[in-house]
Structure 1
Amino acid sequence: MLASLAASAACPGADSEAIKWLDKMSRSVHQVNYHGVVTFQRGEEDMQVMQVSHSVTDGTTTESMTQLTGQGAKVVRAEHPLDCIHPGHKLLRIGDDISAGECGVAEHYRFSVTDGERVAGRKAVRIIVAPGDMYRYGYVMELDRRTGLLLKTATMGRGDKVLEKFQFADLSYKGKDLEGADANLVHEAQHPVPGHNAPQVSAAGYGWDVKWLPSGFMATDSQQRNAGRKTYTDGLAVFSVFIEALDREIRPGEGVVQAGSTTSYSRGMALSGDPVLVTVVGEVPVNTARMVADSVKWVR
């Protein structure tokens, strides 16, 4: 009890019940077999319907996602090792961090728990995630009370505007069904060694680095100096930074495209006299993407 009170005082966002549910949600992807249909909506009109399957067997996970609308594309990731825990999942498992006096993701978000609605026939618990600063979005999550599986989530922008929504319309815990609907285009997702065979970019022997990140964000893989892409997460949001060396300067300016909670921000700039195109793509506000892009520097 005293440890819980001390943690709450040191980390105002560290609601003990919310932390327990976040941990359970992060572990559910390694423990639960399921098959279902989900809807994904951006804005008022753009909605996609997808069939998803996930199975855990022999120390690996296999999953597939097939569009039931649009082009009918399918993505399959097979035999992903259970002992490969990605940084985003690690950041959500913060119970031990709080016990050790560290706030983890609770330093950058405030969490609260209420009774959830019924989603796909399942009773849910609702986790309200409020951003601690202007550099990230908020979330409203509905988790299965039995398994911790994320059943529904809404990404919230300024003024509590719903930017995008994801939810299960139908869900079964009966194991895998990786055949499912017909697909026009199938992509087998790879799981390469971090940094292995990554596209390279350099100028005059320099590498590059991102000199500013919103607090709490960390690299998702090893940071090669000359890689053409670097990706960061705070446990809930993810964004990537791309750099492309140009053979000539382009007109100054910036381009922004937003689709739901996903921002794509590009700008041409000169780094140490070398023309480059920097692009930031991910689940962050435009001003965050702009500040990240402005901080990119060549390094020796």
Structure 2
Amino acid sequence: MPALSTWRSQRLPRTPRRGRALALLLAAALPLPGLAASCPEADPEALEWLDKMSRSSHHTAYHGVVTLQRGEDMQVMQISHSVSGGASSEQLTKLTGQGAQVVREEHPLNCVHTGHRLLQLGARLESGECGVASYYRFQVAPGERIAGRKAVQVRVEPRDMYRYGYLLELDRETGLLLRSSTLGRGDLVLERFQFANLSFGAPMPSSGDIDVVYEAGHPTPSLDTGEVGVTWTIGWLPRGFAPTESGPAVSGRRTYTDGLAAFSVFLEPLSRDIRSGEGVAREGSTTSYTRGLSLSGQPVLVTVIGEVPVNTARMVADSVRWTP
């Protein structure tokens, strides 16, 4: 759900507005005739469901109440998503704690962001591009009834140590994501999103007193962190992660996704040296990793925030370099 990922981006300072597993997984199933020959280890049914999910959250009008659990912390939110005149709009209202609301208006239906595109493989499979099937294993099984809807379960297992696994429960009729569990080592549930109730059609009215309203516009990289005055590169990324935007080479932020997970890298030049070391904070499946580095004698602070394990964030941060 785009609105949910937008709200979550407000939870941590400078957290990227991501197209997270919650918003990037839905849509109308497409036949994949070339899959068996080009990607023999892939599950064609699972990839069809991922394609269906990726489109569903964007093109389907729905509203409901969802829960988001991270450890002992539980949040309850109301989501409303409408589709009209070639565009979609979302409204997300937090029903627990501070009364906050995120609103995004008039997002064009023909605007396909990187995360959605990576899940909508279609004809690319026939040309030998396996996409997410190169980095994850998938297994489809009958799902539970969630929010009164029959579901299909898609289990997602990473093929390497650089990303998390997922257990997805999708609406059998529309492909909408009904429940998503992010799994760490030993299938430990790091975070769980779930619809408590769900209806399709006209949006529900806003409920409760609203203290803060955030307007979430279309991503504009130049507005996020400004420029750092020098060009820089990231020398190592886990396989399959692609940039979500094409900002200036001197932008202070870079964001990447593999279709299911996303993270951002921030670079901040410092005016003086700082003691070497690192800082780590975790909230559910979101890692915030900060490290002080010296690049060609210039002290900088590198921060990686996103849905990846700590070791992945550390390796990405350590690979940052100035570009001559």
Coarse TM-score class (shorter-chain normalised)? over 0.9
Is 1:6–2:31 an aligned residue pair?
A: no
Contact 1:201 1:243 in 2 (8 A): no
Matched residue type, 2:66: V
Q: 1:189 aligns with which of 205, 216, 239?
A: 216
Q: 1:232 aligns with which of 256, 262, 266?
A: 256
Partner of residue 28, structure 1: 56
Q: How does 1:8-87 map to 2 (within 5 A)?
A: 8-9=39-40, 12=41, 14-43=42-71, 45-87=72-114
Partner of residue 273, structure 1: 297
Deviation larger for 91-100 or 59-68: 91-100
Q: Provide structure 2 residue ranges, at least 5 long, that are not aligned to the other structure.
A: 1-31
Partner of residue 144, structure 1: 171
Contact 1:138 1:157 in 2 (8 A): yes
Q: 1:88 aligns with which of 115, 136, 144?
A: 115
Residue 201 of structure 1: CA displacement? 3.6
Is 1:176–2:200 an aligned residue pair?
A: no
Q: Matched residue of 1:227: which SS?
A: coil
Partner of residue 9, structure 2: none
Q: How does 1:238-277 map to 2 (within 5 A)?
A: 238-277=262-301
Matched residue type, 1:265: Y
Q: Matched residue of 1:123: which SS?
A: strand
Alpha-carbon distance in structure 1 between the residues aligned to 2:197 and 2:234: 42
Residue 96 of structure 1: CA displacement? 1.7
- How large is the Cα RMSD of the aligned pairs? 1.5
Partner of residue 200, structure 1: 226
Alpha-carbon distance in structure 1 between the residues aligned to 2:39 and 2:249: 39
Partner of residue 28, structure 2: none
Matched residue type, 1:266: T
Report how many residues are paired: 293
Contact 1:63 1:178 in 2 (8 A): no
Q: Provide structure 1 residue ranges, at least 5 long, that are not aligned to the other structure.
A: none
Partner of residue 290, structure 1: 314
Q: Matched residue of 1:6: which SS?
A: helix
Q: Matched residue of 1:268: which SS?
A: strand
The structure-2 alpha-carbon separation of the partners of 1:85 and 1:2, relative to structure 1 and needing over 3 Å to count, comes to: closer
Q: Percent identity?
A: 60
**Structure 1 segments of 4 or more deviating over 6 A?**
none
Per-residue Cα deviation, 1:92-131 (whole angstroms, up to 9, x for no partner): 0113221111101110000110000001000000000000
The structure-2 alpha-carbon separation of the partners of 1:91 and 1:2, relative to structure 1 and needing over 3 Å to count, comes to: closer
Alpha-carbon distance in structure 2 between the residues aligned to 1:282 and 1:3: 33
Is 1:216–2:244 an aligned residue pair?
A: no
Contact 2:143 2:151 in 1 (8 A): yes
Q: Matched residue of 1:257: which SS?
A: strand
Alpha-carbon distance in structure 1 between the residues aligned to 2:297 and 2:33: 57
Alpha-carbon distance in structure 1 between the residues aligned to 2:140 and 2:69: 24
Alpha-carbon distance in structure 2 between the residues aligned to 1:197 and 1:282: 19
Partner of residue 127, structure 1: 154
Deviation larger for 96-105 or 121-130: 96-105
Contact 1:201 1:244 in 2 (8 A): no
Q: Matched residue of 1:118: which SS?
A: strand
Residue 181 of structure 1: CA displacement? 3.2
The TM-score, its normalising length taken from structure 1, stands at 0.94
Q: Matched residue of 2:267: which SS?
A: strand
Alpha-carbon distance in structure 2 between the residues aligned to 1:201 and 1:134: 33
